[in-house]
Amino acid sequence: MTAFILRRSLQSVFVLFVMSLLVFIGVNLVGNPVDMLINPEADQAEIERVIRDLGLDRPVAEQYWFFLINAFQGDLGKSFVFGEPALKLIIQRMPATFELALFSLLLAIVFGIPLGIYAGLKPDSKISKTIMAGSILGFSMPTFWVGIILIMFFAVHLGWLPSTGRGELGTFLGVTSSIFTLDGLSHIFLPAFNLALFKLSSVIRLARAGTREIILQDYIKFARAKGLSETRVINVHLLKNILIPIVTVIGLEFGSLIAFSTVTETVFAWPGMGKLIIEAIYNLDRPIVVAYLMIIVFIFVTLNLIVDITYSVLDPRVRIKGEA
């Protein structure tokens, strides 16, 4: 077990290292940041001073070496555009992104599970067919387009909900977030729903598939035979058992919510790290791009590691196969 965790962790570190190398070398080959970042009216001395300050005159290998050493010390370079440490800028915006991702996850679960159970219990009813058709649409529709439609309908046409920014922030138990004020909630609803749509579709499908399978099991028949109410059978016996695969998939895919938030944040002008990275790619603000990618790779590798270890604890076959 220990050997498995150790080897898996080493593998993760290796992935991180390879990704950092690829990202850094690649990003350093893009365009010429000098042209992008220095005022065209600056004189030669000024240009040279900025190049020296940014370390752009050093060989790429040396830049990477400094980058690696600095990364271990939590310093991933200064943003060319903001002149502040890249890591600090990203961490400042991380709460907004996490808040959005968590809220969409919540929406996906709260709406997805009941809809999925309903579709599983009455697979032939018209409502179930509508739900399933909706979930196919949810899979097919590009996130950014749904965002546009939501803005057009709820913000421009009906004027019910705001479509840009985070709104007023509230603090509760030391956590500052939009969801603690009414204004903030109204701001988060549209982007969160937009981000949730894809996950919502997969939760519906998982819940439906789980329900159809579990409803045939003996313990459900037994619970009914005991005379338990249908509500209790569904809320206790069924729900508990369909939750296992759903929770696994959701845990695994939390990272993809953060990745897709780049799109949603851009559409809704949500001041999170996803919007920051898109702008940084535009401006060739390399330290931000590198720092963001390193952070997101770190998040992914960690999530995968946790899921793998949890699996190996729950299911010894994974461990044995991994060691063979």
Partner 1 sequence: MGLTKTTKLEEQIPASGLKKFWADYSESPLAVAALIIFLTILFIAIFAPFISPTNPYDLASVDIMNSRLPPGSEDFSGNLFVLGTDGAGRDMLSSIFYGLRVSLGVGAFSGLVALIFGAMMGLSAAYFGGRYETLVMRIVDIQLSFPSILMALVILAIFGKGVEKTIIALILVQWAYYARAARASALVEKNKEYVEAARCLALSDRRIILSHITPNCMAPLIVVGTLQTAHAISLEATLSFLGLGLPITEPSLGLLIGNGFEFMYSGDYWISIFPGIALLITIVSINLVGDHLRDIFNPRLQR
Q: What is the H or E stretch that residue 24 is in?
A: helix 2-28
Per rule CB under 8 A, is residue 17 in the interface with partner 1? no
Map residues 241-260 to x or -, x wherever contact with partner 1 holds by CB under 8 A: --------------xx--xx
Tokens 């546009």 found at:
148
Furthest-apart CA pair in the chain: how many Å? 87
**The pair of three-digit structure tokens given for residue 319, joined into one six-digit string:** 């461990």
Judged by CB under 8 A, the stretch of 27-35, 36-44, 103-111, 168-176 that binds partner 1 is 27-35
Residue 321 CB, nearest distance to partner 1 (Å)? 13
Per rule CB under 8 A, is residue 289 in the interface with partner 1? yes
**Helix/strand/coil for 75:** coil
Residue 252 CB, nearest distance to partner 1 (Å)? 9
Residue 58 CB, nearest distance to partner 1 (Å)? 20
Q: Are 277 and 289 in contact (CB under 8 A)?
A: yes
Per rule CB under 8 A, is residue 2 in the interface with partner 1? no
- Residue burial 154-172, b: 16+ Cβ < 10 Å; e: rest: bbeeeeebbbeebbebbee
Per rule CB under 8 A, is residue 266 in the interface with partner 1? yes
Residue 83 zone, left/alpha/beta (φ > 0; ψ -120 to 50; rest): left
163 versus 178: smaller Cβ distance to partner 1: 163
One-letter amino acid of 233: V
Contacting residue, 1, 13, 21, 136, with partner 1 by CB under 8 A = 136
Site for partner 1 in 29-58 (CB under 8 A): 29-31
Q: In terms of C-beta density within 10 A (0-12 exposed, 13-18 middle, 19 or more buried), how is residue 278 classed?
A: middle
Residue 110 CB, nearest distance to partner 1 (Å)? 23
Site for partner 1 in 161-190 (CB under 8 A): none
Q: Are 208 and 125 in contact (CB under 8 A)?
A: no
Any bridge partners for residue 85, and if so which? 78
Contacting residue, 61, 140, 158, 216, with partner 1 by CB under 8 A = 140
Residue 280 CB, nearest distance to partner 1 (Å)? 8
Per rule CB under 8 A, is residue 282 in the interface with partner 1? yes
Give the span between the Cα atoms of 150 and 163, in whole angstroms: 9
String of DSSP letters for 241-260: HHHHHHHHHHHHHHHHHHHH
Per rule CB under 8 A, is residue 306 in the interface with partner 1? no
Tokens 């938030």 found at:
261
**The pair of three-digit structure tokens given for residue 187, joined into one six-digit string:** 């701001």
Per rule CB under 8 A, is residue 300 in the interface with partner 1? yes
Per rule CB under 8 A, is residue 281 in the interface with partner 1? yes
Give the span between the Cα atoms of 241 and 218, in whole angstroms: 13
Site for partner 1 in 78-107 (CB under 8 A): none
Judged by CB under 8 A, the stretch of 38-46, 51-59, 145-153, 233-241 that binds partner 1 is 145-153
Per rule CB under 8 A, is residue 262 in the interface with partner 1? yes
Q: In terms of C-beta density within 10 A (0-12 exposed, 13-18 middle, 19 or more buried), how is residue 8 classed?
A: middle
62 versus 279: smaller Cβ distance to partner 1: 279
Positions in the binding site for partner 1 (CB under 8 A): 15, 23, 26-27, 29-31, 136-137, 139-145, 148-149, 151-152, 156, 255-256, 259-260, 262-263, 266-267, 277-278, 281-282, 289, 293, 296-297, 300, 304
